[in-house]
Structure 1
Amino acid sequence: MPYLHPGLGDSASQQHLAVALKALRDELELRTVFPPEVLAEAEAAVAAYEFPAEDLTGLDFITIDPPGSIDLDQAVHLQRRGAGYRVWYAIADVPGFVRPGGAVDTEARLRGQTVYAPDGRISLHPEVIAEDAASLLPGVVRGAYVWEFDLDSYAAVTTASVRRASVRSRTQLTYAEVEEHLRSGGAPENLVLLREIGLKRIDLELQRGGASLNLPAQEIGFERGRYFLMTAPALPSEDWNAQISLMTGMEAARIMIEGRIGILRTMPAPDEAALAKFRSQAAACGRAWPEGMAYGGFLRSLDTDRPEQLALMHAAASLFRGAGYTAFDGEVPDAVVQAAIAAPYAHTTAPLRRLVDRFVLVICEALCAGRPVPRWAREALPDLNSLMATANQVSARMESGAMDALAAALLSDDVGKDFTAVVLAGSRHSNGDAGPRTRPSGTVQLIDPAIEAKCYGELTAGTLVTVRLVEADTARRVVRFELAAPAAAGGLPVSAAPSG
């Protein structure tokens, strides 16, 4: 989701957007304020916190996050080990600050996850935990759940375990700073190995049929009385860092499956109709998906600097659907694979921001130590599926509503203008604005700016069309296009066609 540039001012149009986003929060009944008893218990938990006995503060952990991040869930330390590697991955010790059944736990279950909006976030935990005592900030000792992996020369995992220990991050880096260090030729070993291991893990992902959707970051700016969209392609270091997190989630899933207790993140494979539709969209965008090329390999071949291929990357998200959580205690379910990852997988690396990760950490640590899983964690499993499903629905509604508001603000001066677009979803008949009569409508992705919106008219998925903006209402969060004409024969318009 695009976020608002912090330098935006107070013009009338900006105030309209702020009001629209505030109304969306109210509409979703988001819990934007922590009750006094939750804040009091959080403060008491921080004061009474006991650091884990094992001392790993001698390891050179680093954190890598977007600029301005202060709720730091993960820190990594990488070493060579013969022809292979050893990976230490510290995850914030949120369980150490949350008393099972207490006020903080109860509030976290009501929230489910941190909700992100363009103008800020609504946190899962009070700031004293999420942005201070549990956050793996640099230069201070913190408790953590520390994953230890041994990898072979191909970066495949040979052993994995997790335990509690005290750690100290040495440095907080942004992804851009990682790239700068590596370009300089004098990067520390941690960063050299991050690239080396990350690239090998990407190869393993492609071999097992997995795929990553590396969408560029977007930011809404405002200048000379109107909004504009700034897009920055994902940096390679973001992908390498994500591979460490994915590896951890895969090993957490394996440990829980072998222990016959836990909760997995699952996703069905896309059906043939969805794949065929995406192939037609790819062809319409001038970047046909070659027969025999794996889906993950095709996504990695896209150049998101090109508007038409960025639109195709957004269209690919339609295949990453149907994800949910599957809890089990005893019998392992048949469907355990997360299709996009092409392996069993669990959420475990973001406990500051996601409820389920706290339980996965506690379960995996107990299984690795050969101890019974704590009763409170076991008893929570039947409820976690529905708690996380509800939280995901709220987050999705926030994202959808915020995107509509942002799109309306961005396009507010362009009513009547024509745009080239890719049809993501063909027409279906539904009630229109004019009353009970039905109007065919579908979903389009503009080539530039890269905005997805509803469009009225007879639309066929995977085709390029010209659409006309007929309404952009920020307050109502409504953007409406109508089909102006099919795109000119021959594919992409000159302005969007690939240059090479």
Structure 2
Amino acid sequence: MKTLVDSNAVLAAGLPLIRTQFGVPETFPPQVLAAAEEAAKRVPSAHVDRTAMPFVTLDPASSTDLDQAFAIERSGADLLLHYAIADVAWFVDDGGVIDAEAWKRGTTLYLPAGKAGLYPPVLAEGAASLLPSGPRPAVVFTVRVAPDGTPTLDGAERAIIRSRAKLAYDSVTEANLPPDFAELANRIVAAEDARGASRVDPPQQDVIADGKGGYRLAFEPRLVSEDRNAALSLATNLAVAALLQAHHTGLFRVMAGPDDRAVQRLRNVALGLGLEWPAALTLPQFVATLSAAEPAQAAFMIAERRSGGGATYTPYRDGVVPWHAAMAATYAHATAPLRRLADRYVVRAALAIANGQPVPEVVTQAFETLPPVMARADAIGGRIDRAVIDLAETAVLQGREGEIFSAVIVDADAHGARIQLCDLAVLTSVKTEGKPGETISVRLVAADTTARTLNFERVS
């Protein structure tokens, strides 16, 4: 959810400028806060009692806006994933002030020093969050996962659940988790490999002391528990997407794969990072060999994530199969309604269809109007991520002016060259001519943390 963390508060001085530049709100309007306080008092009345089911949550230790809880059981050779999603729609009225504010925001925005939530904390971190402090309303999707990893939606219901534990990625043990947690995740990953998916979840970066009085960017390796947890969400999103597509409705996440030029740029990035990419391997095959625990490989994962045009949202259209190239599947977002506006409507549609009911008209209309709203929100989030990384790169390189770095030209045009520094996970620009794949030397002229810019000049 964050591209970069700042455990040493190195970026503290520059982050307020980013918040101001991108209009990141500090709080909510008074009328929205007041409405949220009232909504939080609502007593669920359309939900069955599932408090006896052993749900748990698994998230970063500091997280309090918990969208998902899960329980797993066997059904012959299949595994049943009971995936509880926060029932945000129970608290948010269509057309009300909370709803209107959420449409303005689109998503929760994350910065190293905090976030700007989609919904007020009394809901997102209280009444609607699947915390273990008491029973919570949820939409429970039952996803049947076959031995080959194929997920299908067996049912969906509004339910009251009670999480048994708030588990954290960095401290969870096998004993805390359902017995088949690892097996279910392995099935999903095997299915990804079988269909040629190239989904990557690059690790976060952190600004840490370098032991020489300065700082450096380091990668925080993804934990096994984090990757396995992501597989549960993926299975649910795939199952929901298949259900919606089969019933000729929905909002889907689509993404084209990188074109030939983008793949060549990535090959140059790999060269700059010292990674051997055999010519016979496709991009998905190469990505499958990488480990986020290795800094150079993690840096490539981040470059690969940014190589395409990005994912977008599209409503159902007759005769069109919505496709997400990285997932190698039809895909929808349904599992994070506390943090993404679109998920609230996808959940409502899937819940209706699974129970033989018509999709509410307000949901069908939302599928048509959500794409530009989500595109704007995603674009702002992406620009914030880029600004934070630019700030971090200038911060760690400040004081190294005059130093010479080896780099590889990733791409070039009439305006100059895009280069990958060979010893740092820094992708930047320099005014020079050259051919992609060429190794050059550049001198750092200036690192401006206020403007968040690096100025390099070519020396050879």
Same structural fold, with TM-score higher than 0.5 when normalized by the shorter chain: yes
Residue 97 to residue 484, structure 1, CA distance change in 2 (3 Å)? farther
- Number of the residue aligned with 2:427: 452
> Is the Cα–Cα contact under 8 Å of residues 51 and 166 in structure 1 kept in the other structure?
no
- Number of the residue aligned with 2:17: 23
> Is the Cα–Cα contact under 8 Å of residues 139 and 171 in structure 1 kept in the other structure?
no
- Please state if 1:166 is matched with 2:160: yes
> Is the Cα–Cα contact under 8 Å of residues 47 and 137 in structure 2 kept in the other structure?
no
> Is the Cα–Cα contact under 8 Å of residues 75 and 136 in structure 1 kept in the other structure?
yes
- Please state if 1:54 is matched with 2:41: no
- Give the SS at the match of 1:344: coil
Picking from 114, 129, 141, the partner of 2:108 is 114
Alignment of 1:70-149 (within 5 A): 70-149=64-143
- Number of the residue aligned with 1:375: 361
> Is the Cα–Cα contact under 8 Å of residues 394 and 453 in structure 2 kept in the other structure?
yes
- Please state if 1:230 is matched with 2:215: no
1:36: how far off? 0.6
TM-score, structure 2 length as denominator?
0.93
1:234: how far off? 1.3
Query: 1:185-225 deviations in whole A, cap 9, x for unaligned?
Result: xx2551x4221111221111011111221312222235875
Query: 1:218-250 deviations in whole A, cap 9, x for unaligned?
Result: 222358753333322112222211111111111
Query: 1:295-329 deviations in whole A, cap 9, x for unaligned?
Result: 4342131244444333332332244433111013x
- Counterpart-to-counterpart distance in 1, 2:285 and 2:230: 17
TM-score, structure 1 length as denominator?
0.86
Residue 236 to residue 189, structure 1, CA distance change in 2 (3 Å)? closer
Query: 1:464-489 deviations in whole A, cap 9, x for unaligned?
Result: 4433221111111112223333xxxx
> Is the Cα–Cα contact under 8 Å of residues 51 and 135 in structure 2 kept in the other structure?
yes
Picking from 150, 154, 159, the partner of 2:148 is 154
- Counterpart-to-counterpart distance in 1, 2:158 and 2:438: 53
1:73: how far off? 0.8
Alignment of 1:326-475 (within 5 A): 326-328=314-316, 331-332=317-318, 334-424=320-410, 426-430=411-415, 440-442=416-418, 444-475=419-450
1:29: how far off? 2.0
> Is the Cα–Cα contact under 8 Å of residues 420 and 465 in structure 1 kept in the other structure?
yes
- Counterpart-to-counterpart distance in 2, 1:160 and 1:456: 57
Picking from 261, 271, 276, the partner of 2:249 is 261
1:167: how far off? 0.8
* Structure 1 stretch displaced more, 341-350 or 311-320: 311-320
Residue 57 to residue 447, structure 1, CA distance change in 2 (3 Å)? farther
- Counterpart-to-counterpart distance in 2, 1:280 and 1:402: 24
- Number of the residue aligned with 1:4: 6
Amino acid at match of 1:169: S
Structure 1: which 5+ runs fail to align?
Answer: 9-13, 431-439, 486-500
- Number of the residue aligned with 1:437: none
1:277: how far off? 3.6
Residue 225 to residue 51, structure 1, CA distance change in 2 (3 Å)? farther
> Is the Cα–Cα contact under 8 Å of residues 51 and 142 in structure 1 kept in the other structure?
no
Identity of aligned residues (%): 36
> Is the Cα–Cα contact under 8 Å of residues 149 and 160 in structure 1 kept in the other structure?
yes
- Number of the residue aligned with 2:206: 219
> Is the Cα–Cα contact under 8 Å of residues 49 and 97 in structure 1 kept in the other structure?
no
> Is the Cα–Cα contact under 8 Å of residues 78 and 88 in structure 1 kept in the other structure?
yes
- Please state if 1:40 is matched with 2:50: no
> Is the Cα–Cα contact under 8 Å of residues 409 and 417 in structure 2 kept in the other structure?
no
Residues paired across the two proteins, number: 457
- Give the SS at the match of 2:302: helix
Structure 2: which 5+ runs fail to align?
Answer: none
1:94: how far off? 0.8
Residue 21 to residue 170, structure 1, CA distance change in 2 (3 Å)? same
Residue 261 to residue 299, structure 1, CA distance change in 2 (3 Å)? same
